[in-house]
Amino acid sequence: MTKTHERIGQLGWEPTHHKPVSNYPTRYTFPKKAKDPMKQIMREYLPMQLEKDERMYGGFDAAVRANMATKAERRWLEVLKPFVHTTTYIEGCAGRVMSMLMDTVPNHELLNGYHVQFVDELRHIGMQQSLARWYTKNAPEPEGWAMGAKYYTGSPLTKAGYNMGTHCIVGDPLHCGLTMMAVLETAFTNIAFVALPDVGVRNGDFTLPTTYSSAQSDEARHISNGYATVLTLLQESSNIPLIQQDLASGWWSTHAFIDPFAGTLIEYFSKDRSDQESYLQKWDRWVNDDYYKSFIEQLGKLGLNMDPAPFVAARDRIVNGLIHQTAIFSFAIWPLAYWRFDGLDERDFEWFEARYPGWYDEYGPLWEGFNALKHPSEQALLLQGFLENSPPLCWSCMMSCLGDAEPLHRVVDGRTRFYCSEMCKRNDVDYPGRFTGDRQFFDKYHGWDLADVIRDIGFLHPDGKTLVGQPHIDDDKPLWTLDDIAACGCEIVSPNILTAERLGLPNGSWHDPSTPDGGVATGELGYVASSIGGDGLETGPGVRDLDGKGNGRKNLGGVVL
C-alpha cells in the first residue's frame, strides 16, 4: 500500500502554464514540503466506506424491526432534533472547508487527505440526514423533524450552533481549517460522537450510536489531516503567531457553543441515571486529557507556545455552572424551541446533587417552577420575568453571558456589544467585520407579545395554533396553543437592550428593521450586478475599494469593517 501510495503521489505537479487562484486569501506561508497523513488510495478507501455504510444502514433496518424508536426514552428522543440538525450542518462545513484548503494550500501531499475528508463528510451528511429521516418516520413525535431544516436556524438555541459551525467556512481558510480539524474534530468529536451516543445507549437509543460510531471511525483520519496541517505550517516560523491566534480563536468559538450544548443534552435530557460521570468528568477525560494534554501541550515541543488561559477558562466556566445555567435558560424559553422538554424529577435532582453538591439549593427552585407550569391551564410561564433578569447574549458566540460579573462590552458605531468572555471579545476585535446579520434574537422582538414571536418564527403544528415546542412529553396532557401563550400575557424583552440601559451604555440593540436582513451590521445581500466577475467584486460608484484598483462591493450597507 505504501508503494501504491507513493506512485499515486506522483500524480501531482506544480502548475506552470497558469497560476492557480484561490477565492480565500490567507495570511499563512506554505513551506515546500508536507506530509500526506492519510496514505489513502481510493481502491482501499471505497470498499471500506461501503462496508461501514452497509453495516450502519443495516442497523437502521434492524432497529425498525425491533421497534426501537418506541423503546427509547422520549425525553432523549426529543432533544435529538436539535442535535442531529446541528451535527449535519457541521458535517457540511467540515466538507466545505476542505474545498477551501484545496484551493489555497499548494502542497500536493495534503490535498488527497483533504479531498477524502470531503467525501467522508458527504457520507456523514447522508448518514445523519438518514437518521433524522428514520426518527421522523419511527419516533413517537414527528413534529420538529418534519420541518427541521426550516426550524434549525430559527430557534435562538440552535442558531448559535449554526453560528459556531459557520466559523469553519468563513475567513482565512487556514483559520477555518484549524478550527475544524485541530479543534472541533480533534477535541470535540469524542464528546459529541462517543460520550453523547453512550448516553443514548443508556436511554435505549441504538440508532444514534450506530450512526455516530460509524462517523467517528472516519474522524481519526480527519484528526490526522489537522495534525499534518499544523506540522506543515510550523515549518515556517512566521506562521507560529498566526497558528497560536487562530487555534485559540477556534478553540473558544467551538467550546462556547459545544460545551453548554452537549453538556445540557447529556446531563439534562438523559432519563437514565446509571451514568456515574458528570459532564465535567467526561470533559476532563476526553478534552483535557486526550486533547489539551495530549495534543495542545505536545505542540510546545514543535515550537508552538499556546497560552493555557483559554483552555483553563473553558474548564472554569464548566466548573462554575455553564451547563446548569444554559440548561435552565433553554428550558425557560421552551416556546421558542422545536422539540419537547421533560422537566426534572426527584431522581434527577438526586443525580445532580450527588455530582454537584449544592446544586438543588441553587437551581432546584427554578426546576420546581418549571414543573409547576407544565399545564396550559396554569396560564403562566417560567419565561415571564426571566429575560428581564437574564444576562445579555454574547455578540460573538450568541450564547448567554453567564456568571456573576458584569459582562464585557464594547461600543461600536454608537451601539453596545456584549461578550461572554475575553476570548469572544477577541474573536470580534481580532477578526473585524466577521460577525454580521440580525444576530441577537431578542432585539428584534423587544416589546412583542410571545404569541406573536412564535407566530413569526412559525414553530406551529399544521393547525396553525399548537406549538411544536412543549414543556412536557406527556401525551395525556393538553398541548400548549397560541391562545394559551397569549393568555399568559408574556412580553418579550431583550436582555441586551435592558442591560445596556441599566449600565448607562449606548443602545444594546443590533436590530434594524429598515435593513433587508434586519441587522445593523448587515451582511452581503441579495443579487449583485451582473457585471461582477468571478472574483465577486464589482466596480462603479459607491463601492468600497478592496483591491486598490477601485474594485469592491457596494451591497454591504453599514457593515463594520
Partner 1 sequence: MSAPTPPVKRFDDGSGRVKKDESRRGFLYFTPQKRRPSLYEELTVDTQPSPQRHLRGGWLISFADGRGTHSLGSTELRVKDWFDWRDPEGLWERPFYQQAAQAAREQDAAVASARSEGLFARIDEQWQAFLRSSLQLPAFYEHGLWRALCGASRPALSDSLTHAIVLEAAMKQRQAQDLVVYAMDLEAEIGECSTEAAKQRFLEEEAWQPVRALVERVYSVHDWAERVLAANLCIEPLVGNFLRREMLLVPASANGDPVTPVIIGNAQREWLWVREWTVEFVRFCLDDEEFGEHNREVLARWTQTWNAEAEAAAKAVAGELDRVPRARPADEALEQLRRERDEVQAALQSKEVAA
**Subset of 300-319 contacting partner 1 (CB under 8 A):** none
Candidates 63, 147, 182, 280; binder of partner 1 (CB under 8 A) is 147
- The minimum distance between CB 537 and partner 1, in angstroms, equals 8
CA distance 256 to 254: 5
Candidates 58, 241, 300, 432; binder of partner 1 (CB under 8 A) is 432
Q: Which of the stretches 43-51, 211-219, 305-313, 357-365 binds partner 1 when contact is defined by CB under 8 A? A: 43-51
Q: Give yes or no for residue 118 binding partner 1 (CB under 8 A).
A: yes
CA distance 77 to 80: 5
Q: Which of the stretches 6-14, 270-278, 327-335, 351-359 binds partner 1 when contact is defined by CB under 8 A? A: 6-14
Residue 521, judged by CB atoms within 10 A of its CB (0-12, 13-18, 19+), counts as buried
Candidates 148, 310, 391, 508; binder of partner 1 (CB under 8 A) is 148
Q: Give yes or no for residue 17 binding partner 1 (CB under 8 A).
A: yes
Q: In the complex with partner 1, which residue's Cβ is closer, 22 or 371?
A: 22
Candidates 8, 194, 313, 429; binder of partner 1 (CB under 8 A) is 8
Q: In the complex with partner 1, which residue's Cβ is closer, 176 or 233?
A: 176
CA distance 522 to 514: 11
Look at residues 227, 363, 251, 253 and name the one whose alpha carbon lies nearest to residue 307. 251
- Alpha helical stretches, state H, 269-321: 279-283, 309-319
Q: Give yes or no for residue 140 binding partner 1 (CB under 8 A).
A: no
Q: Give yes or no for residue 123 binding partner 1 (CB under 8 A).
A: yes
Residues 6 or more apart whose CB falls under 8 angstroms from that of 146 comprise 136
Q: How far is CA 262 from CA 134, 149, 191, 267, 296, in A?
A: 22, 20, 8, 8, 22
Number of residues that bind partner 1 (CB under 8 A): 114
3-state secondary structure of 365: helix
- Stretch 442-481: interaction string toward partner 1, x if CB under 8 A: --x-----------------x-------------------
Q: Give yes or no for residue 336 binding partner 1 (CB under 8 A).
A: no
Q: In the complex with partner 1, which residue's Cβ is closer, 16 or 514?
A: 16
Residues 6 or more apart whose CB falls under 8 angstroms from that of 229 comprise 101, 105, 110, 174, 177, 178, 181, 182
CB 189 within 8 A of CB 287: no
- The minimum distance between CB 388 and partner 1, in angstroms, equals 23
Candidates 86, 87, 112, 186; binder of partner 1 (CB under 8 A) is 112
- What is the SS3 assignment for 158-211? HHHHHHHHHCCCCCCHHHHHHHHHHHHHHHHHHHHHHHHHHHHHHCCCCHHHHH
- The minimum distance between CB 95 and partner 1, in angstroms, equals 7
- The minimum distance between CB 444 and partner 1, in angstroms, equals 8
**340 bridge partner residues:** 470
CB 234 within 8 A of CB 303: yes
Q: In the complex with partner 1, which residue's Cβ is closer, 111 or 450?
A: 111
Candidates 31, 41, 107, 227; binder of partner 1 (CB under 8 A) is 41
Q: Give yes or no for residue 1 binding partner 1 (CB under 8 A).
A: no
Q: In the complex with partner 1, which residue's Cβ is closer, 57 or 360?
A: 57
CB neighbours of residue 297 within 10 Å: 14
CA distance 431 to 175: 11
Q: Give yes or no for residue 526 binding partner 1 (CB under 8 A).
A: yes
Q: Give yes or no for residue 109 binding partner 1 (CB under 8 A).
A: no
Q: In the complex with partner 1, which residue's Cβ is closer, 144 or 226?
A: 144
Instruction: Let me know how long the chain is.
Output: 561
Q: Which of the stretches 115-123, 181-189, 260-268, 296-304 binds partner 1 when contact is defined by CB under 8 A? A: 115-123
CB 444 within 8 A of CB 518: yes
**415 bridge partner residues:** 412
Q: Which of the stretches 5-13, 71-79, 260-268, 301-309 binds partner 1 when contact is defined by CB under 8 A? A: 5-13
Candidates 74, 75, 81, 167; binder of partner 1 (CB under 8 A) is 167
Q: Give yes or no for residue 527 binding partner 1 (CB under 8 A).
A: yes
The DSSP symbol for 392 reads: P
CA distance 119 to 121: 5
Element (H, E) at 113: helix 108-138
User: Binding to partner 1 (CB under 8 A): which residues in 348-407?
Assistant: 398
- The minimum distance between CB 370 and partner 1, in angstroms, equals 27
Q: Give yes or no for residue 517 binding partner 1 (CB under 8 A).
A: yes
Q: Give yes or no for residue 546 binding partner 1 (CB under 8 A).
A: yes
CA distance 470 to 482: 12
Q: Give yes or no for residue 90 binding partner 1 (CB under 8 A).
A: no
3-state secondary structure of 500: helix
Candidates 7, 55, 293, 347; binder of partner 1 (CB under 8 A) is 7
